């Protein structure tokens, strides 16, 4: 059974993780740390101080590394390599190691789309995926799967995933209003039929329609996100996952204002598998909150992406939690 390590004590966690990193990346000269540097103005995203203990472990193990993310589609300092790298450096990340922001890619054909996987990750000797668990308007929550599904691919692929999950009206609406209730942006309105306002392509309305009157443009957002993550993972030589369950906000690190804290800090997780680490994060947070906070605040649990990623071979949702 898949092992997921969990600790509320960062120092104890680091001792165990050192063993895991040494085992996983033995012989590697230069690995990529796939990370999200946070949108300018965001106060709860990762800071260099959060990650420095992990990079120190890699230095102790004589494993070279660079810090990686890909540009975003929307208007931001993060939408091109030059200004994104400058912003990350000014935030202090360059003190940890080399920053690489790239939109270079290799094309990999999936069942639903052609995915442009970021070339620096493919060429690295391995990839260490460090994720901040938080809420997300489209995926319910963002963790390891989203870190790769959106962050390991190009701007073009990011847009294709969101566009592919967009709702298309097929006909047969009975004005029940379920789709309207499920919209996380509250921009969908039902008149004689659903009228789609501002839309990120989360596919929520498609899931809940009892008449099957709405279909996705390509496939469900969670399916495309999971396929993207799985496609990226297959191109990596070695991989390991670490997740931080702290500063768990309603919205993602992609926004300057991620909203309020929706759950208390719950420690740190590590695993070889994305599905297991995201499932463990969800279970721990909802258990500690005594409710599904992601469903409550974002109208989607987030387990949809996990189930889809499991189908794509990113590990099993059945895991054994080992406390450190």
Q: In this structure, what CATH number is given to the domain that contains residue 51?
A: 3.40.50
Q: Are residues 201 and 237 in the same domain?
A: no
**Residue where a domain stops, chosen among 216, 239, 258:** 216
* Bridge pairing between strands 239-245 and 127-132: parallel
* CA atoms in the 13 A half-sphere facing the CB of 192: 1
- Angle between helix 144-151 and helix 221-234 axes, rounded to 10 deg: 80
Give dist(CA 18, CA 295) in Å, integer.
Answer: 35
* Phi, psi for 322 (deg, rounded to 5): -110, 115
Q: Are residues 104 and 51 in the same domain?
A: yes
Q: Are residues 37 and 118 in the same domain?
A: yes
Give dist(CA 230, CA 275) in Å, integer.
Answer: 10
How confident is the chain (324 residues) per 10-residue block, as mean pLDDT? 95 96 97 97 96 98 98 94 97 97 97 98 98 97 98 98 97 96 96 94 97 97 98 98 98 94 98 98 98 97 97 97 97
Q: What is the pLDDT of residue 8?
A: 97
Domain extent for 46? 2-161+221-323
Q: 287: which 2 tokens?
A: 């258990």
Q: What is the pLDDT of residue 1?
A: 80
Q: What is the pLDDT of residue 198?
A: 93
What domain count does the chain have? Answer: 2
* Bridge pairing between strands 134-136 and 140-142: antiparallel
Exposure b/e, 113-152, CB count within 10 A at least 16 = b = bebbbbebbbebbbbbbbbbbbbbbbbbbbbbbbbbbbbb
Contact (CB, 8 A) for 248 and 134: yes
Contact (CB, 8 A) for 157 and 116: yes
Q: Are residues 53 and 83 in the same domain?
A: yes
Q: Are residues 67 and 205 in the same domain?
A: no
Q: Are residues 186 and 244 in the same domain?
A: no
pTM: 0.97
């Amino acid at each position: 059974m898949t092992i997921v390590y969990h600790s509320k004590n960062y120092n104890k966690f680091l001792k165990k993780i050192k063993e895991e990193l040494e085992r996983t990346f033995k012989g590697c000269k230069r690995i990529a740390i796939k990370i999200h540097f946070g949108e300018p103005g965001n106060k709860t995203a990762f800071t260099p101080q959060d990650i420095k203990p992990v990079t120190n472990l890699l230095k102790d193990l004589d494993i070279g590394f660079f810090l990686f993310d890909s540009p975003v589609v929307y208007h931001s300092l993060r939408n091109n390599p030059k200004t994104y790298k400058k912003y990350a450096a000014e935030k202090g990340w360059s003190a940890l190691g080399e920053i690489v922001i790239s939109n270079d890619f290799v094309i990999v054909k999936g069942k639903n789309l052609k995915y442009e996987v970021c070339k620096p990750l493919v060429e690295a000797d391995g990839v260490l995926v460090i994720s901040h668990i938080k809420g997300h308007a489209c995926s319910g929550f963002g963790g390891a799967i989203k870190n790769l599904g959106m962050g390991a691919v190009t701007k073009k692929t990011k847009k294709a995933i969101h566009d592919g999950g967009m709702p298309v009206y097929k006909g047969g609406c009975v004005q029940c209003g379920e789709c309207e209730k499920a919209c996380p942006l509250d921009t969908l309105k039902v008149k004689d039929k659903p009228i789609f306002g501002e839309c990120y392509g989360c596919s929520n309305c498609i899931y809940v329609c009892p008449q099957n009157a709405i279909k996705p443009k390509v496939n469900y957002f969670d399916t495309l996100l999971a396929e993207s993550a799985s496609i990226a993972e297959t191109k990596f030589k070695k991989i390991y996952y670490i997740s931080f369950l702290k500063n768990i906000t309603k919205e993602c690190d992609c926004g300057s204002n991620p909203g309020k804290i929706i759950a208390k800090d719950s420690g740190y997780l590590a695993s070889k598998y994305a599905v297991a680490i995201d499932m463990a994060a969800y279970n721990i947070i909802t258990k500690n909150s005594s409710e599904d906070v992601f469903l409550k605040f974002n109208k989607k649990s987030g387990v949809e992406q996990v189930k889809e990623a499991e189908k794509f071979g990113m590990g099993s949702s059945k895991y054994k939690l080992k406390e450190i």
